[in-house]
Amino acid sequence: MSLSMASFRGNVLGLLAGQLTRLALQAGYFVILARMLGATGYGAFAAAIALCALVTPFTSLGANTLMLKNVSRDATSAAREWKKALAYTVMGGLLLAAVLTLLAHLIAPPELSRLSIFQIAIAELIGLKLVELTGAVWQGLGQSRPLIVWPTLLNLIRLVAAGATFFWVGESSLELWATIYTASTLPLGLLVAMRTTSKLGYTKGGMRLRGRDVKEGLLFSVAMSSQNVYNDIDKAMLARIDSVGAAGVYSAAFRIIDMAYAPIRSISAAAYPLYFREGEGGLAAALQLTRKITAPVLIVGSLAAIGAFVTAPVAPLILGADYESAIDVIRLLAPLILLRGLTFLAADTLTGCGRQGFRTGTQIAVAVANICMNLILIPSLGIIGAVVATLFCEFLLASILWIYIYVARKRTGGDVHSKLASEQFLGGKG
């Protein structure tokens, strides 16, 4: 299936509009939450979210990504793939929420109670995941609207919940907010899941994951978890090793950088199903799509990084005096926006053409390196140590993936149809 750039641009613009709307809602929600919980409370909450992010990819054993890939290539499989992904997501979410709660005293800062962790885990591993799963199945069917509308509505509900709590209570305890957070997330996830099930229809059977599917799904899961490790583990480690106050400042700065990444995220979301379609032609075919979107990613990433650096002093004026030190952290993290853009281009190129095995292995190695660097740097450098580890590991990941692609293309002679030779060199589709 050839790429329609007009359709792609339309999807990017639609997703960008949704991202900008969510960005405005997230900004309001973030400001209220940071003020309501303070640096210490926000740091503990961010640590809980980070812990959930580490296990989120395993809720469905990769069935969600397999669903997107299969539906993108065969629309008639939507009902069967949706049913499978939905069941594994709910069951896996409940199981992992229980595991996190049981291990809370080993991995979470003491400021987090078991009840708070369980509530936040249910919200993230089931409520939020169902919203994302709904968007993914419709994205695979070529309809990007649900991918825009439902996450936007979720952010609006969270904003209203945070605003109402701050208005009526003022400074809130983390325990109270964890309960409200769950109540503002889980019902929407259940609602959109039931709505999608009704629209796609019910299909009998199809619940079993084949051995090949489990292997591929686990590769997707491990890759995403590894990515979340080097994106989020530093927040949990800061809260545990340094202080929840430091984790709060760092998490606030990281959240601002993440919001600045929104335009690139729109391009990534629009391109992801196209990578599966174009990638059927092999690495060279996937790279044709990459070449078409590289310039916009580099331009947008550079502008966003510069914007974050220049506007950093505004952060404590909005968030409060507790976040004064976030200015330097934001400026140091600004290059991460461009680095993440380069990483996504290389990583999704490999995923689209069936090279998930190398991507996963590299992400695991980088995640381990990130943990080791944080263990060494945080005790002596605190927040700056976490920043150094994050930037270095993102640069390392992007460099390895792009070098791998360059060598692979040289070995296959640049022929779009040289998929077999490429597979021999790269070790198969694993």
Cα angle 98, 101, 103; round to 5: 110
The upper half-sphere exposure of residue 20, i.e. CA atoms within 13 Å in the direction of its Cβ, equals 7
Confidence of residue 418 (pLDDT cuts 50, 70, 90): very low
The strand ranges marked E within 136-216 are none
Task: Please state, as a whole number, how many other Cβ atoms lie within 10 Å of the Cβ of residue 425.
Answer: 15
What band does 1 get if pLDDT is binned at 50, 70 and 90? Answer: very low
Which pLDDT score, from 0 to 100, does residue 213 have? 64
Identify the pLDDT of residue 307.
Answer: 94
Nearest to 85 by CA among 139, 144, 150, 156: 139
Q: What pLDDT, in 10s, does the model give residues 321-339?
A: 888 999 999 999 999 999 9
The widest CA-to-CA distance across the chain, in whole angstroms, is: 66
**Taking the complete model, does pTM exceed 0.75, yes or no?**
no
For the segment 276-290, what is each residue's pLDDT rounded down to a tens digit?
877 778 888 888 889
Q: Are 78 and 140 in contact (CB under 8 A)?
A: yes
Whether the predicted pLDDT of 405 surpasses 90: yes
pLDDT for 420 beyond 70: no
Identity of the residue numbered 66: L
Q: Write down the pLDDT at residue 311.
A: 93
More confident residue, 119 or 85: 119
Highest mean pLDDT among 1-15, 52-66, 73-87 belongs to 73-87
Classify residue 204 as exposed, middle or buried by CB count within 10 Å of its CB (0-12, 13-18, 19+).
Answer: exposed
Say yes or no to pLDDT of 373 above 80.
yes
Q: Which residue has the tokens 């077999």?
A: 420
Q: Put residue 282 in one of left, alpha, beta given phi > 0 → left and psi -120 to 50 → alpha.
A: left
Q: Please tell me which residue, 255 or 218, carries the higher pLDDT value.
A: 255
Which of 162-176, 244-258, 295-309, 314-328 reaches the highest mean pLDDT? 295-309
How much of the chain exceeds pLDDT 90, in percent? Answer: 34
